[in-house]
Each structure stands twice: as structure tokens, then as C-alpha cells.
């Protein structure tokens, strides 16, 4: 039972294109710098030391003379902030360790610049170990000011308790429909149950028009991943694609992928919409190669921006496309924000898990929270920080990712495409980019028609916005 549960976090599109993403790729990519950042070989002793990050105009962390204790978790000299993750899960030790590592690095970086107007950040790292999300949320309710930069595989277990104690969250990622659409939740890269981006589908349709006439859907046999697969299927269908195959593989992965590969071949699948994790996809690709069948494309999400895909699949990895809303690590030297993120890890947590897209997303969450908190000044209340964060209409995490209207919580209409091959990951340049490395189009956000669940509200737990202080 425990063995298969870890798959949820790596195969769900929890954070639109980046949630659950991780990468150790050292492959090079050819592209132009993204417009959201400037060319810079910045170091952690530069703008980061002053509490400024990337392309942000002002410091989010600086000295001050705070006083009083305006909210739970806030004293005259410190702010206790919780981060939930699952690294203690025995079935997958270190699961999402990057969330804890990013929390520690951000706190060290911010505190070195003076903290939040003089108040130092104190990390409260809450290890849900997969099955204890509710208990960890209950702990946070007692002692923490906010939840920031975290994510739990079974986040549906704690969301009602979080709202009951009026604990807001700026999430690293959200998984379940109950959490994704919940009140008092902000996602820097929104992953909603009623809208999804479509730029990657349109790109593949132009590149492989014949493949859209014979596409297949394959996902793990888990409720969450099946929900994601249904969303991808609806998007493809809305674009006029023709489905010839729809299947699920065992949640823990197939003991032998050859029968599934044969089914794909027999159905004549040309383009595959895959929801899963890198090592399982690699094994499927090997099985397809062994039977001599080549897909025109495999479309998947940013959790496959992972060197494990290439290490496991090796020469069988062909035509695998990964969408991304973040500037990739391969061009960090050309993107100020990405380089400063890596520099901060090198300075404050050498050996930490730094090349992980989920870590980048968590950093964006921390930055968003810190900027809002700094704008609240000495009167640091939960409502003030939450309301300030929601006023960001063009949030890029200082140039880490595409612009997001935080208030609307709408998925981005911009996309970059990465191609996986035996040589590593390559940023595609034939996407007709119109904003740095990204192709952006307001029409590339699709309103889903199916029922994919809904979020928990304050009303569901007997609370109202008037109770939120």
C-alpha cells in the first residue's frame, strides 16, 4: 500500500508545469534570455545580500525596528512560518526535500538582509510523511503565522482544519481539488480545477498534425492522476484531436511494460498524452523501442524535467516534450533570477536540493509572501499579508517564471517547451516565442467543461471572511 502512494506527487500536475518538477540535467540549451530577467552572472554577494531578488525593484527583506505581537506566530523580533512537505515518507525518503531546503535557504537569505522589516523568519518544517497532513496542519494552527512554500501529497486531509483555524497559505504546490480551489490559498503558479493552459497542445498539433488524428491517453491508476488525465483528454478533444487509445497502468508501475507498449502499437497511437512520473515513462519508452515502435510525440508535464528520465530510458528517450512556465536551469547564466536562486543555495545550503523546479516554485511563493509582509510594516496581520499578496497582477517571482495575475488565480497563457533526448534537455526555439523564451497567447487558457471537484470554503467550516483578521 505504501509503495504506490508516493507516485501521486510526481505524476499529478500540481502546479501547472512545475509542481513536482525536479531536475539534475546538465545539458545545454540554445535560446535567447527570457524577457522577465536580464543577462547577469550575479552572485549571492550582489543584489541578494541587500534583500533584493532578480528583477524586483525594491528589497523584500531589510532591517527595521519592529514592536509588538500583532498575530499568532509573530513577536517583536521574529515570524514563525510553517512549511509542510513529505520527506519523511518511508516509501520514498526525501520526497519533496526541495521544499524544506528552499524554506531554509530563503529564511537565511532574507534574515541576512535584516528579515521582514527587522523581524527574522523562523522556519517551522512540518514533515507530513505522506499520511500526516492533518496532524501537521493542526500543529501549524497552534503556532504559525502562515504556511508558505509547501505542499503535501494528501493535502485534502488538512484543508478543513486549516480553514477552521483561519490559517492562510501561499503554496509551493496544491494537489487535490479540495486544496486547489480552497479559500485562503494563493498559488504563485495557479493549478485550478476549471482552467488549464493549452499552448503546448497547440504547439504539438502544428508540429505533428497527423499525430493528432491518432492520440492516446495513459495514466496511473490513482484517483488524482486519473482526474488529470481526464483534463488533458478534454483539452485534446476540444481541439479536434481523435482518440484511439485510453488506458491506465498499475499505480506502482507495470512489472512488464511490453504488453502496454504493444497495445499502444496495435491502436496505432501517434501522439501520447502521458500522466505519470519520469522513471515509469522511461520504462515505457524502452518497451516501445524494444518492439520497434516510435511515437511522433509524448506530451507530459514539468515533473519530467528530471535527469532520471534520461538516465533510465537512455537511447529510447525520443520526442518527449515537457511544458514549462519557468526559465530552465540550462540558461541560468542568462537569467538573473535563476542564477541568484542557485547562488543563494550555494551560499546558505551547499549540497541542498537546488536544481528542482518545485524548489523554484517554492521560492516564488516565499518571495510573494515576503513582499506582501514587508508592505504591511509593523502591523503584521494575516489578513494584511494575504490581501497585499492578492494585489500582484504581474507576478514573475523576480523573473523566475511567466507573469501571473495572482488575484485572478488564472493559469498562465505562456509556455516554453523542453525536448528530452538521450543528450539531455533542450529548450525549443520553434515555438514562435513572443516574450523572451515563452510563447504567450490569451487564447491559450481553456475553460474546462467537466466536473473535476471543488475547493473547501470558509463557509464549509462555519467561518466567513469577516472572521479572518
Q: What confidence tens digit (pLDDT) does each residue in 256-308 have? A: 999 999 999 999 999 999 998 888 999 999 999 999 999 999 999 877 888 78
Distance CA 453, CA 223 (A): 12
In the chain, where the domains are located:
31-189+335-409, 195-324+413-447
pLDDT tens digits for range 134-172? 999 999 999 999 999 999 989 999 999 999 999 999 999
Q: Is the pLDDT of residue 13 over 60?
A: no
Give whole-number Cα distances, 435 to 39, 200, 431, in Å: 15, 15, 11
Q: Which own/partner contact pairs does 137-144 have at CB distance under 8 Å and 24+ positions apart? A: 137/84, 137/161, 137/162, 137/167, 139/82, 140/82, 140/84, 140/167, 141/165, 141/167, 143/72, 143/73, 143/80, 143/82, 144/72, 144/73, 144/80, 144/81, 144/82
User: pLDDT class for 48, splitting at 50, 70, 90?
Assistant: very low
d(CA 397, CA 123): 20
Does pLDDT of 41 surpass 80? no
Answer yes or no: is pLDDT of 34 > 50. no
At residue 434, the pLDDT reads 96
Cell of 304: 519530467
Q: What is the DSSP letter of 273?
A: E
Please give the helix or strand (H or E) that residue 201 lies within, else none.
helix 199-207
Judge whether residue 39 has pLDDT over 80.
no
| β-strand partners of 249 | 220
Question: Does residue 5 carry a pLDDT above 70?
Answer: no
Please indicate whether the domains covering 31-189+335-409 and 195-324+413-447 agree at the CATH topology level. Answer: yes
pLDDT 10s digits, 449-467: 999 999 999 999 999 999 9
Q: What is the pLDDT of residue 45?
A: 36
Q: Is the pLDDT of residue 339 over 90?
A: yes
Look up residue 146 and give its DSSP letter.
E
Structural domain 195-324+413-447, CATH architecture: 3-Layer(aba) Sandwich (3.40)
Domain 31-189+335-409 top-level CATH class: alpha beta
Does residue 16 have a pLDDT over 90? no
Indicate whether 322 pLDDT > 60: yes
pTM: 0.85
Q: Read off the C-alpha cell for 311.
A: 538516465
Amino acid at each position: 500500500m505504501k509503495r504506490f502512494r508516493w507516485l501521486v506527487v510526481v505524476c499529478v500536475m500540481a502546479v501547472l508545469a512545475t509542481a513536482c518538477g525536479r531536475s539534475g540535467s546538465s545539458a545545454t540549451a540554445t535560446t535567447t534570455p527570457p524577457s522577465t530577467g536580464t543577462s547577469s552572472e550575479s552572485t549571492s554577494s550582489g543584489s541578494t545580500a541587500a534583500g533584493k531578488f532578480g528583477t524586483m525593484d525594491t528589497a523584500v527583506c531589510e532591517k527595521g525596528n519592529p514592536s509588538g505581537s500583532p498575530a499568532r506566530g509573530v513577536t517583536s523580533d521574529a515570524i514563525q512560518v510553517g512549511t509542510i512537505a513529505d520527506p519523511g515518507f518511508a516509501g520514498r525518503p526525501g520526497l519533496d526535500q526541495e521544499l524544506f531546503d528552499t524554506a531554509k535557504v530563503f529564511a537565511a537569505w532574507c534574515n541576512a538582509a535584516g528579515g521582514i522589516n527587522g523581524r527574522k523568519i523562523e522556519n517551522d518544517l512540518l514533515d507530513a510523511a505522506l499520511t500526516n497532513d492533518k496532524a501537521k496542519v493542526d500543529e501549524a494552527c497552534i503556532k504559525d503565522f502562515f504556511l508558505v512554500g509547501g505542499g503535501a501529497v494528501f493535502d485534502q486531509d488538512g484543508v478543513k482544519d486549516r480553514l477552521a483555524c483561519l490559517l492562510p497559505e501561499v503554496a509551493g504546490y496544491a494537489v487535490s481539488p479540495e486544496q486547489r480551489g480552497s479559500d485562503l490559498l494563493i498559488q504563485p503558479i495557479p493549478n485550478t480545477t476549471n482552467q488549464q493552459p493549452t499552448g503546448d497542445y497547440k504547439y504539438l498539433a502544428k508540429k505533428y498534425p497527423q499525430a493528432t488524428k491518432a492520440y492516446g491517453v495513459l495514466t496511473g491508476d490513482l484517483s488524482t492522476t486519473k482526474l488529470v488525465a481526464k483534463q488533458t483528454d478534454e483539452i485534446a478533444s476540444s481541439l479536434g484531436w481523435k482518440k484511439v487509445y485510453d488506458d491506465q497502468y498499475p499505480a506502482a508501475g507495470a512489472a512488464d511494460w511490453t504488453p502496454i507498449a504493444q497495445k499502444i502499437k496495435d491502436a496505432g497511437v501517434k501522439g501520447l498524452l502521458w500522466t505519470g512520473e519520469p522513471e515509469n515513462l522511461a520504462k515505457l519508452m524502452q518497451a516501445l523501442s524494444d518492439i520497434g515502435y516510435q511515437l511522433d510525440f509524448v506530451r507530459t508535464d514539468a515533473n519530467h524535467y528530471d535527469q532520471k528520465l534520461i538516465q533510465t530510458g537512455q537511447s529510447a528517450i525520443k520526442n518527449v516534450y515537457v511544458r514549462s512556465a519557468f526559465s530552465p536551469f540550462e540558461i541560468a547564466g542568462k537569467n538573473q533570477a535563476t542564477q541568484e536562486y542557485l547562488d543563494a543555495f550555494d551560499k546558505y545550503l551547499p549540497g541542498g536540493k537546488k536544481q528542482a523546479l518545485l524548489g523554484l516554485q517554492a521560492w516564488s511563493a516565499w518571495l510573494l509572501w515576503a513582499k506582501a509582509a514587508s508592505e504591511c510594516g509593523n502591523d503584521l496581520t494575516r489578513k494584511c499579508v494575504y490581501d497585499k499578496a492578492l494585489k500582484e497582477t504581474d507576478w514573475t517571482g523576480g523573473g523566475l517564471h511567466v507573469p501571473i495575475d495572482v488575484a485572478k488565480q488564472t493559469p498562465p497563457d505562456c509556455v516554453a517547451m523542453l525536448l528530452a533526448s538521450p543528450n539531455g534537455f533542450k529548450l525549443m526555439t520553434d515555438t514562435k516565442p513572443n516574450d523572451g523564451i515563452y510563447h504567450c497567447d490569451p487564447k491559450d487558457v481553456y475553460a474546462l467543461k467537466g466536473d473535476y471537484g471543488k475547493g473547501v470554503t470558509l463557509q464549509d467550516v462555519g467561518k466567513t471572511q469577516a472572521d479572518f483578521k
